[in-house]
Amino acid sequence: MAKVLIIGCGGVASVAIRKCCMNSDVFGEIVVASRTKSKCDELAAKLNGTTETKISTAQVDADDFDALVALIGKVKPDLVMNIALPYQDLTIMDACLACGVDYMDTANYEPENLDDPVWKARYDKRCKELGFTALFDYSWQWDYKGKFENAGLTALLGSGFDPGVTQVFCAYAQKHLFDAIETIDILDCNGGDHGYPFATNFNPEINLREVSAPGSYWEDGKWVEIPPMSIKRRYDFDGVGEKDMYLLHHEEIESLAKNIKGVKRIRFFMTFGQSYLTHMKCLENVGMLSTSPVMYEGREIVPIQFLKALLPDPASLGPRTKGKTNIGCIFTGIKDGKKKTAYIYNVCDHQECYKEVESQAISYTTGVPAMIGAKMILTGKWAKDGVFTCEEFDPDPYMDELNKNGLPWQIEENPDLVE
Ligand code: NDP
């Protein structure tokens, strides 16, 4: 049985930890370490005695390489699961390399400090050469490929739902449904209602940074960038009904464009209600989404961090959120010389998630795949040295685990396509 160190104890990590405890044949022992140890202690106290998995806790600042190395050295885990924030990805990868331990996360690297000159220089070059301006990209973590290969270690990037399961769906479509995939539309629909005029379903800072940025998609071998929220479509989602959705940039487009050979177009759409968009625009217009510090009454504050303190904690939305999510991928392509279309998706019910793990479906649909990604590495089903995204492995064992762990998927042939 394996021992894992889980870093972070927020909305997503709490679900992943509970799901690890439901798979105690693999997860024999868990150490939960985060910035605020009391949150880890609270969860451990709830779970200890209800599971065969042994749980203990620790305090760590995951921005501090030395502190991480000391903790990993003490815990000696088989795997580090990074479910803190994307800001910590590189430091935790460095610490895993220093200690000779496998690594995984749920979101690709982006810097907390957008004024960092090293990051800014690479960012400016990429914006100019590749033409997409998202704050995150895979280049920082792909740079670790050689180091993980040489160390004989695995790093699995982005094992949440999107990124994560959406790429596993692509690998499945490639393996079983198509000879050639021509287009992929990733559709992320949240039909849930939490009753607040405005709240985000996961970390507000990361969420609002992503959603307020220009959208982009991959077409004919290059990026096409568009102003934020300027491509809107309407789609009738199974289990949810008709919703407006908007084209966003999303990290898995970057890796899928590399790994799904011959794909001509990849787009990502997310549903938003009008109230969310109006609030976000207003907050943006008054400067509340800014990441640059401002002086207020003699001290520096970062507007988006202050906003985070005012908004409901995503972890508290669980009991109030009703409705369903529907996330999946629509494919067009060729099979046996004929044109073919297919839609692979999961429908997840917020209230059912809450009953099972005291969390809403956004944390659930991310936390379950985080556990499954870890399980793939720990059981040797996904065993390769280097740095990989989810579509680079055999999708079958992961797809089986989705069905067993609360995220069953279905395939619709001839679905409605997105214009
Ligand atoms: P939360 O803000 O709820 O939780 C983050 C956790 O990380 C908190 O426990 C926080 O501690 C801890 N943390 C933050 N900074 C540090 C640090 N320096 N050292 C140690 N611990 C730290 O975020 P979520 O649970 O909503 O999101 C977790 C991750 O999942 C994010 O990377 C997010 O981008 C990703 N995600 C991925 C999705 C996908 O589908 N792939 C979808 C949704 C989220 P503290 O309590 O002290 O704040």
Which protein residue's CA is at the shortest distance from atom 42 of ligand 1? 366
Nearest CA to ligand 1 atom 41: 160
User: H-type helices in 260-333, by residue range?
Assistant: 274-285, 303-310
The single residue listed with the structure tokens 């906003």 is 307
Encoded tokens for 48: 């200890």
Distance 74 CA to ligand 1 centre (A): 23
Predicted local confidence at residue 24, as pLDDT: 97
HSE value, Cβ hemisphere, 13 Å, CA-based, for 7: 32
Q: Tell me how far the alpha carbon of residue 9 lies from the centroid of ligand 1, in angstroms.
A: 7
**Where do you find CATH 3.30.360.10 in the chain?**
165-357
CA–CA separation, 267 and 19 (whole Å): 31
Q: Output the pLDDT for position 242.
A: 97
- What six digits make up the tokens of 184? 């992929």
**Atom number of ligand 1 nearest to Cα 313:** 3
Contact between 304 and 222 under an 8 Å Cβ cutoff? The reply is no
Quick one: CA dihedral 177, 179, 182, 186, positive or negative?
A: positive
Ligand 1 nearest-atom number relative to CA 206: 34
Q: How far apart are CA 206 and CA 317, in angstroms?
A: 17
Q: How many whole angstroms from 282 Cα to the centroid of ligand 1?
A: 25
**Among protein residues, the one whose CA lies closest to atom 10 of ligand 1:** 8
Nearest CA residue ID for atom 23, ligand 1:
203
Q: Which atom of ligand 1 is nearest to the CA of 366?
A: 40
Distance CA(357)–CA(310), nearest Å, equals: 25
CATH 3.30.360.10, applies to 2-157:
no
* Superfamily classification of domain 165-357: Dihydrodipicolinate Reductase; domain 2 (3.30.360.10)
Ligand 1 centroid to residue 90 C-alpha, Å: 15
Residues of the chain under the 70 pLDDT cut: none
| Residue range(s) of every CATH 3.40.50.720 domain in the chain | 2-157
pTM: 0.95
Q: Output the pLDDT for position 54.
A: 97
What residues flank ligand 1, with Cβ below 6 Å? 7-13, 34-36, 39, 60-63, 83-86, 88, 106-107, 158, 160-164, 202-203, 206, 314-315, 366
Token code pair at residue 46: 């709830």
Separation of 191 CA from ligand 1 center, angstroms? 23
CA distance 171 to 104: 19
CA 401 to ligand 1 centroid distance, Å: 23
Give the nearest ligand 1 atom to 14 CA: 25
Q: Whose CA is nearest to atom 39 of ligand 1?
A: 160
Exposed / middle / buried, residue 71 (Cβ in 10 Å: 0-12, 13-18, 19+): buried
What is the model's pLDDT at position 205?
83
CA–centroid distance, 11 to ligand 1, in Å, is 7
**From ligand 1's centre to the CA of 208, what distance in Å?**
14
Report pLDDT for 316: 86
